[in-house]
Amino acid sequence: MQPRFMLMNSLDRILEQLQDTQWHSLDELKKRLSLPSDKLNEAISFLQKQAFIDEKNGRLRITCMGLRFSQL
């Protein structure tokens, strides 16, 4: 699988897990997604820079912008 496709797939999977708008721990996402830590961290960093997810006290939540993007 191509690296860019893998990253896009990871982004979609993370946003899917966060669509309930609740706060989720990084460990919870790691368990649910079975992604290598480096790939998960890269994807989360990208989503934060795009303002698609928020991070607070080590927990993650989708933003309104992230919800709109995930529905496209």
Domains in the chain (CATH in brackets) are 3-70 (1.10.10.10)
d(CA 62, CA 12): 12
**DSSP letter assigned to residue 52:** S
In the predicted structure, residue 32 carries a pLDDT above the cut 50: yes
pTM of the complete model:
0.84
Side-chain-side CA neighbours of 59 within 13 Å: the count stands at: 7
In the predicted structure, residue 1 carries a pLDDT above the cut 50: no
- What's residue 71's pLDDT? 81
Q: Other C-beta atoms within 10 Å of 10: how many?
A: 20
